[in-house]
Amino acid sequence: MKPGFLMLLLLVLVACESAPAITPAPVSADAQKFVALKGNREIGKNKYAETCVSCHGMSGRVSPGAGKDLATSAFIKGLSDADLVLFLTRGRGVNDPLNTFKSEMPARGGDSALTDQDLADIVAYVRTLQK
């Protein structure tokens, strides 16, 4: 066999190698009840604009002190959609040791009328903001 053919074959095999599978974040036991919710990012965009934009900005990237940056947040990237819905139902107080921003994240974004489905829709939209 010619060396050029072997090199070409090797290049083809390397090029055909599939990308590694993305493993979804595991869902915590507390968040299991939210797994069945399927978020709609278009509806979520509207809900986000009504509830979240004042602290997080429409693009999820805000100036310091206004709200946590959602576009690059490792916390958000590390959670399943169901766990993010769970987080939104609870919020996070200023004195919570896990609150590195030291600004309150109110439960349901401060809008008690938001349903679990609304929160799933918001999560679907926030996922589109991530870098």
**Residue-wise pLDDT tens for the chain (131 aa)?**
555 544 444 444 444 444 444 566 789 999 999 999 999 999 999 999 999 998 898 888 876 667 788 999 999 999 999 999 999 999 999 999 988 888 899 999 999 999 999 999 999 999 999 97
Q: What is the CATH number of the domain that holds 64?
A: 1.10.760.10
Q: SS3 of 92, please?
A: strand
Rounded distance, CA 103 to CA 6, Å? Answer: 60
Say if 102 falls within a structural domain. Answer: yes
Say if 14 falls within a structural domain. Answer: no
How many domains, in total, are found in the chain?
1
Range of the domain at 115: 30-129
The pTM of this model reads: 0.79
